[in-house]
Structure 1
């Protein structure tokens, strides 16, 4: 009967967290061994790894998936505000836009 229960149970998939924990522990062991050999070499190795990590992070390109889509061209109706825009003025900062609504004209939701 014990064999049937084992056969019916689905095998567990390895966890990504467990793999990350193993890598952290192995990295700690390597750093400890390097510091045990020579403190100076350990400090230089940590500085080198930190510099390489920072350089790699700075060179990585960010995806455009989180960028705000451009406003529709030729349209003066902005859905987020619910009114027509009288004029659009570029602000003092880069990418800053100031919208001046037409006074007293609220656009109804249709």
Structure 2
């Protein structure tokens, strides 16, 4: 008999790595069986699987997380691009300098 679980314990979650290992083992068995039947069929099957994988990789859309940020709007002004610098502060990192631009009285953001 198995001992009863205590109320405070949570059941163990299955790992994604374990599932991947099972899939790889199944794929290896399929490849071994294919090569056992015929070496020519096994080689041809591997070429077809590789071509399909390559085709799918090239057709998949890239995520937006690696995209470059949009250019700044026309009204934005950065301290490095301005000739009027209010103050200079050394940052926490070595060689890091923070420039604060002088605010124009006209219509700058707060």
**TM-score, scaled relative to structure 1:** 0.67
Q: Are the equivalent residues in 2 in contact too, given 1:34–1:41 (CA < 8 A)?
A: yes
CA distance in 1, matches of 2:52, 2:71: 39
Structure showing the higher strand proportion among its residues: 1
Q: How does 1:70-85 map to 2 (within 5 A)?
A: 70-75=70-75, 77-78=77-78, 82-84=79-81
User: What is the CA distance between 1:55 and its match in structure 2?
Assistant: 0.3
CA distance in 2, matches of 1:84, 1:7: 65
Q: Which residue of 2 aligns with 1:7?
A: 6
Deviations 1:9-58 (A, max 9, x none): 32111111100000000000000000000000000000000000000000
Unaligned runs of 5+ in 1: 86-101
User: How many residues matched?
Assistant: 87
When structure 1 is superposed on structure 2, of 20-29 and 69-78 the one drifting more is 69-78
Unaligned runs of 5+ in 2: 88-99, 102-110
CA distance in 2, matches of 1:58, 1:44: 21
The root-mean-square deviation of aligned C-alpha atoms, in Å, is: 2.2
